[in-house]
């Protein structure tokens, strides 16, 4: 029997005038319903959608709610496939009460939700870790109750003995496994008291975070390069990222001319960080504007991106292809940064991410408040409380911008 899944609005309004969003599960003309967890006004609902935009942009939470709908659809379809069920009533019961205790089944569902939410980097990291554990299990089943301290110790020994992984790489694998286990605990697949990570610890190897000194940074900035040459572009990329609170490469490469906005006779860089979803609103200083002017003079009107790294059709690519292209471009830029460092006689192993380390270090060395630095980087922290972070605004960083970048 064929089963269909359709997002609809409940026919009865709530007290606040909104309507609960439901998924209608239909088998042999019999319907069952399960709530998504959100409600909207009727005028914000797109009943005839065919592109996943169920909630119109007139609703301020349209992206969040549309993602929740997509996630629920994937959850229901995956559940039906896992349990080999095709009856609407059984699917509804399973969705409301049954979650497989098989670690690999749960992990696969989690991966599909990440993919649907366009969290491709996290998806790939988790997929790699899950596949590694599958290889280790060699076809054997793994239930949540089997993930004990002894299991973790044995797997840790396996990774150290049978792979080329370094200590911190192994740590990263276990942190990823822990994240999946914690999600299982939240779904009542394991009791918190049985959490093996309470008694299992890893020894972390200290690593040296490279960064440029002020002298090395000036050597790169002052290096004589031919306008329009490959290294000329690479220096512009690195300096622009540094000058704007140490941008991540994925955010930098994705910048469009629309991200440059005029406000009260100033120009600001307004963009959403891909990793955290946080919006940044940065006052563009003179050096940043000088770099932008170089690209504005030769702007390709058919391509919305500021820097010549991504094709005009980038937005139409799948999330996975976008992620792969960004990673490929990052690798090319990092390779060329090595050449730039050699020409500038900089001994630091230069990568694009070092713009971020350099900003943070030089800002700290100039005596700036760690809370402001964290806000500028867009980091979350258990040490610096949310109260401090929420009390800061992007515009409160304008004078901070001048202090860091202008001598």
Q: Please state the separation of Cα 362 from the chain's center in Å.
A: 26
Write out the residue range of the structural domain in which residue 317 sits: 214-405
Higher pLDDT, 377 or 335: 335
Average pLDDT over residues 227-251: 95
Of the chain, the percentage scoring pLDDT greater than 70 comes to 82
Q: Is residue 381 part of a domain?
A: yes
> Which of 74-88, 205-219, 265-279, 331-345 has the highest mean predicted lDDT (pLDDT)?
331-345
The pLDDT, as a whole number, for residue 382 is 32
| Together in a domain, 166 and 38 | no
Least confident of 3-12, 119-128, 196-205: 196-205
The pLDDT, as a whole number, for residue 381 is 47
CATH, residue 330: 1.10.443.10
Q: Is residue 209 part of a domain?
A: no
pTM listed for this prediction:
0.62
Confidence of residue 66 (pLDDT cuts 50, 70, 90): confident
Asked whether 250 and 274 are in contact (CB, 8 A), the reply is yes
Q: How far apart are CA 200 and CA 19, in angstroms?
A: 47
Task: Identify which of 280, 232, 231 has the alpha carbon closest to the alpha carbon of residue 255.
Answer: 280
The pLDDT, as a whole number, for residue 161 is 93
| Together in a domain, 247 and 326 | yes
* Alpha helices, H only, 84-200: 88-97, 103-116, 120-137, 149-162, 167-186
Q: Is residue 12 part of a domain?
A: yes
Total domain count, the chain: 3
Asked if pLDDT for residue 188 goes beyond 90, the answer is no
Q: Is residue 361 part of a domain?
A: yes
Q: Is residue 206 part of a domain?
A: no
Q: Is residue 168 part of a domain?
A: yes
Q: What is the DSSP letter of 198?
A: G
| Together in a domain, 125 and 182 | yes
The pLDDT, as a whole number, for residue 391 is 36
What is the residue-averaged pLDDT of the chain?
84
CATH, residue 180: 1.10.150
| Together in a domain, 114 and 149 | yes
Asked whether 359 and 404 are in contact (CB, 8 A), the reply is yes
Least confident of 4-18, 145-159, 365-379: 365-379
Task: Identify which of 273, 277, 245, 246 has the alpha carbon closest to the alpha carbon of residue 259.
Answer: 273
| Together in a domain, 167 and 76 | no
Q: pLDDT tens, 270-319?
A: 998 887 778 889 999 999 999 999 999 889 999 999 999 999 999 999 88
Return phi, psi of residue 197, to 5°: -75, -10
| Together in a domain, 239 and 187 | no
Q: Is residue 208 part of a domain?
A: no
Last residue of a domain, one of 97, 123, 147: 97
| Together in a domain, 117 and 90 | no
């Amino acid at each position: 029997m064929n089963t269909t899944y359709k997002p609809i609005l409940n026919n009865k309004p709530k007290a606040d005038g909104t309507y609960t969003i439901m998924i209608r599960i239909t088998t042999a003309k019999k319907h069952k319903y399960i709530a998504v967890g959100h409600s909207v006004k009727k005028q914000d609902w797109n009943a005839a959608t065919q592109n996943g935009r169920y909630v119109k942009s007139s609703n301020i939470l349209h992206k969040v709610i549309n993602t929740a709908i997509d996630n629920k659809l994937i959850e229901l379809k995956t559940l039906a496939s896992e349990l080999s069920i095709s009856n609407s009533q059984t699917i509804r019961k399973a969705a409301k009460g049954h979650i497989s205790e098989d670690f690999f089944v749960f992990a696969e569902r989690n991966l599909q939700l990440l993919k649907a939410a366009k969290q491709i980097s996290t998806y790939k990291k988790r997929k790699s870790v899950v596949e590694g554990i599958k290889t280790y299990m060699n076809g054997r089943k793994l239930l949540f109750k089997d993930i004990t301290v002894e299991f973790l110790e044995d797997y840790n020994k396996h990774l150290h003995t049978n792979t080329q992984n370094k200590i911190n790489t192994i740590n990263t694998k276990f942190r990823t496994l822990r994240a999946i286990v914690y999600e299982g605990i939240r779904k009542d697949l394991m009791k918190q008291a049985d959490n093996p990570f309470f008694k299992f610890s890893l020894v972390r190897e200290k690593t040296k975070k490279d960064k440029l000194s002020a002298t090395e940074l000036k050597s790169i900035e002052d290096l004589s390069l031919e306008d329009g040459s490959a290294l000329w572009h690479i220096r512009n990329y690195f300096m622009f990222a540094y000058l704007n609170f140490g941008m991540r490469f994925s955010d930098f490469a994705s910048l469009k001319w629309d991200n440059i906005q005029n406000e009260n006779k100033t120009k600001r860089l307004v963009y959403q960080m891909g990793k955290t979803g946080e919006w940044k609103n940065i006052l563009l200083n003179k050096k940043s504007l000088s770099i932008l002017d170089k690209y504005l003079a030769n702007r390709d009107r058919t391509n919305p991106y500021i820097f010549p790294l991504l094709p005009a059709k980038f937005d139409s690519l799948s999330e996975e292809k976008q992620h792969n292209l960004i990673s490929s471009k990052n690798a090319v830029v990092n390779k060329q940064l090595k050449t730039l460092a050699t020409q500038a006689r900089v001994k630091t192993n230069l990568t694009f991410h070092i713009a971020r380390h350099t900003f943070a270090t030089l800002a700290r060395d100039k005596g700036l408040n760690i809370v402001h630095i964290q806000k500028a980087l867009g980091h979350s922290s258990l040490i610096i409380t949310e109260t401090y972070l929420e009390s800061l605004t992007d515009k409160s960083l304008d004078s901070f911008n001048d202090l860091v970048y202008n001598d």
